[in-house]
Structure 1
Amino acid sequence: MTPFTQDASYFFATIYGGIVVGVLFDIYRVIKSNFKFIKYCSLVFDALFWILTTITVFITVNAIESFELRYYHFLALFIGFILYYNTISKFVLAIMNKVLYILTALIKNTTKYIVSILKNLYYVMIYTLHFLFDMIFYIPNMIVLINRGVKRKTLGKIKIRKKV
C-alpha cells in the first residue's frame, strides 16, 4: 500500500497531464479557427486530437504509476484541464494566434518573393534566348536580304543604263 503523500504527488503530477491536454486543446482550436480546410475535414482532425489526447493520458499515467490506473487520475486530469482552461488559456490562445499569424504571413511573403524572383528570372532567360535567336537567325537573314537587294538594284540600274 502506498502512503498518502505518494498518492498526493501522483495526483498533482496527473494535474500536469490535464494541463497538457488543455494545451493540446488550445493548439487544436487555433489550427481549426485559422485554416479553412480543417473545418471541412473536421472528423479526421477531431479523431487526431482525441488520439493525441489519449496518448498523452497514457504517457502521463505510465510515467507516474506504470499503468496502475486509479479513479483519482481522471479527477486530476479533469481538474488540471479546468485550471488551465479558466486561468491561462486565453493568454496562450492569443499568443498562439499571433505566432500562427506571423508564421503564415512569413510563409506567404517568402513564397510571394520567391515566385516574383523566379518570374523575373524566367523573363530574363526568355528575353536572352530571344535575343540569341535573333542574333543567330534574324540578323544574318537581314544581311543576306540586304545583299540580295543591293545586287538587284545595282543590276537593274546597270541594265537601265545599257538600254539608254
Structure 2
Amino acid sequence: MLPFTQDVSAFYATIYGGIAVGILFDIYRSLRHNFKIVRTLSLFFDTLFWLIVTMLTFITINAVENFDLRYYHIVALFIGFFIYYGTISKFILTGLNKVIYFITNLIKKTVHYIVDILSNLYYVIIYSVHLLFDIIFYIPNMFLATRKFVKRKSVGILKKKKRV
C-alpha cells in the first residue's frame, strides 16, 4: 500500500496529464478550424487524435505508477481537462489560431513572391530570346529589303535621267 502523499502526488501528476490532453484538444480544434483537409478527413484525424490521447494517457499512468491504474487516475484526468478547459483554453485557442494564421499567411506570401519572381524571370527570358531572334532574323532582313528597295528606286531614277 502506498502512503497518502504518494497517492496525492500521483493524483496531481495525472491532473497534469489531463491538462496535456486539453492542450492537445485545443491544438486539434485550431487545426480543424483553420484547415479544410482536417474537416474533410475528420474520421482519420479524430482517430489519430484519440490514439495520441490514449498514448499520452498510458505514458502518464506509466510514469506516475507503473500501470497501476486506480479509479482516481480517471477522475484526475477529467479534473485536469476541465480545469484547463475552464480556465485558459480560450486564450490558448486564440493564440494557436493567431500562430496558425501568421504561419499560413507567411507561407502564402512567400509562395506568392516566389511565383512573381519566377513569372518575371520567365518574361525576361522570353523577351531576351525574342530580342535575339529579332536581331538575328528580322533586322538583317529589314536592311536587305531596304537595300533592294533603294536599289530599285535608284535604278528607276537612273532610267528617268536617261530618257531626258
- Fold match by TM threshold 0.5: yes
CA deviation after TM superposition for structure 1 residue 68, in Å:
2.3
CA deviation after TM superposition for structure 1 residue 152, in Å:
2.5
Are 2:109 and 1:106 aligned? no
User: Once superposed, which parts of structure 1, at least 4 consecutive aligned residues long, lie more than 4 Å away?
Assistant: 159-164
- C-alpha RMSD of the superposition: 1.7
What runs of 5+ residues in structure 1 fail to find an aligned partner? none
1:152-163 to structure 2, matched below 5 A, reads 152-162=152-162
CA deviation after TM superposition for structure 1 residue 22, in Å:
0.2
Counterpart position of 2:87 = 87
1:1-164 to structure 2, matched below 5 A, reads 1-162=1-162
Q: Secondary structure at the match of 2:63?
A: helix
* TM-score under structure 2 length normalisation: 0.90
AA aligned opposite 1:102: F
CA deviation after TM superposition for structure 1 residue 92, in Å:
0.8
* TM-score under structure 1 length normalisation: 0.90
Q: Secondary structure at the match of 2:79?
A: helix
AA aligned opposite 1:68: D
Q: For 1:137 and 1:143, locate their aligned partners in 2 and report how far apart those are by CA, in whole Å.
A: 11
Once the two structures are aligned, what percentage of the paired residues are identical? 61
What runs of 5+ residues in structure 2 fail to find an aligned partner? none
